[in-house]
Amino acid sequence: MKPIFELYNLLWMSSIPFLISFPRLRYGWKERIFINDKGPFDLWIHAASVGEAYMLNDLIENLPRDLKIMATTNTSQGKEIIREKNNIHIRYLPFDLTFVWEKALSIWRPKLLVLLETELWPALLYTCLKSNIPVLLLNARLSKKSFKRYMKFKALFKKFPPKEIYAISEEDAKRYKELFGKKDVRLMNNMKFDRLNTNGDKKIDPVVKRFLKERKFIVFGSIRKEEERDILYVIKYLLQLFPCILIGVFPRHIERVNFWKNMLEKEGIRYALRSELNDSLNKIQVILWDMIGELQMAYSLADVAFVGGSLRPCGGQNFLEPLSYGVVPCVGPFTENFNWVGDDLFEMGLVIKVKDSKELLRTLSYRIISPAADRDMVKNKFGLFLKEKKGGIRTACHAILKYLDQRDTFEYKEMQNGVKERRLPDNCRHAK
């Protein structure tokens, strides 16, 4: 095993000069190589990027306050989302080098490492096994594309599997069983369901709201690089057909903002950066979001929404969020990352799937001129759907505290309205 990882380390070291030039990795590169933190930590949780960072926050909110926690992420956006607290140390995840991990684990000395969703780093798993640090994979999912890639190294991964894996679907469980050779992979509800509700309460920025007076607002959320030109095509023709609408564009990765600026300028589309919105701007057609954390606010204001990552084979982004605010979203044909949601929402007409950019243009045009779906009705239907889908955070907390010698005893109290209220021990925060 040692010669294999010596070669692996060599490949990583030769790649670092190129990796740190990547926009998503250019920040915090010293943290990715050097270990200057002070341990020990009770718990280490790793969240790859934005979606996992929100789950990390939810987990921490429901764990005992006195735990000392290391929180790591791969991206600057993830780091911005993770909430700072006295008991939490936030840093970038180091590069996957065995000698870096050996030093890190000797200093951090976590009792448990929790990986969220799909973060399988060979050197990290190997070093944790050598150091007798259990690894827990929670909310585990493994797309068909990632599975094929990881299976090329199946012989390697089988030698250092996580201690326990909690998958979010039977299909994901089957893939993890095959990859790691584990007979027992547990199932859990997706933690993302727990943070969804139908209250529709979201703080509205008055500057943004001012631009929406008597204008329909169309949100293009979480747009991936691969589909940018498709979305530009749709935006261009929507503005020709409906000159009075206002469009909000949310690139999935903040470093794509400059590319969007150039594209909009070339097309002669009047835009403003979200960070520069002010009363002196007039007649803008597009707000280009260069600020993190406001997509849900935009969905709450939207008349029509498209959720990206789905017009091209990128797996899709979270189309459940608009539904929380009574907005029926459109998505493209590629939503395999959300197969765990099932087909019910599509069959109920709560999510609309289109096959390409031309059909998206027709669908959005129809929805702009048609009466909007009753938001309360949409939220009620979505609420019924969510009722049986929650509980993932509860499962995750049980799994974590089992390894920290703090066996959690969640109790449930039946409420008069039939909704179950989650109750935690006195040293835990109340689940939200």
**Residue 399: pLDDT above 80?**
yes
One domain for residues 102 and 251:
no
One domain for residues 210 and 188:
no
One domain for residues 41 and 65:
yes
Report pLDDT for 138: 98
In a domain, 18, yes or no: yes
Candidates 217, 239, 238, 365; CA nearest to 303 is 217
**Residue 10: pLDDT above 50?**
yes
CATH of the domain at 29: 3.40.50.11720
Number of structural domains in the chain: 2
Euclidean distance between CA atoms 220 and 299, whole angstroms: 9
**Residue 50: pLDDT above 50?**
yes
Which residues on adjacent β-strands are paired with residue 115?
46, 137
Report pLDDT for 417: 33
Report pLDDT for 201: 63
Report pLDDT for 36: 87
One domain for residues 157 and 287:
no
Report pLDDT for 342: 86
pLDDT tens digits along 348-393: 999 999 999 999 999 999 999 998 779 999 999 999 999 889 999 9
Confidence of residue 424 (pLDDT cuts 50, 70, 90): very low
One domain for residues 151 and 226:
no
Report pLDDT for 337: 85
pLDDT tens digits along 172-201: 999 999 999 998 999 999 999 998 888 766
Q: Check: CB of residue 105 under 8 Å from CB of residue 123.
A: no
Of residues 42 and 412, which shows the higher confidence score?
A: 42
**Residue 152: pLDDT above 90?**
yes
pLDDT above 90 as % of the chain: 72
Identify the domain containing residue 184 by its residue range.
Answer: 2-193
Residues with Cβ within 8 Å of residue 21, at least 6 apart in sequence: none
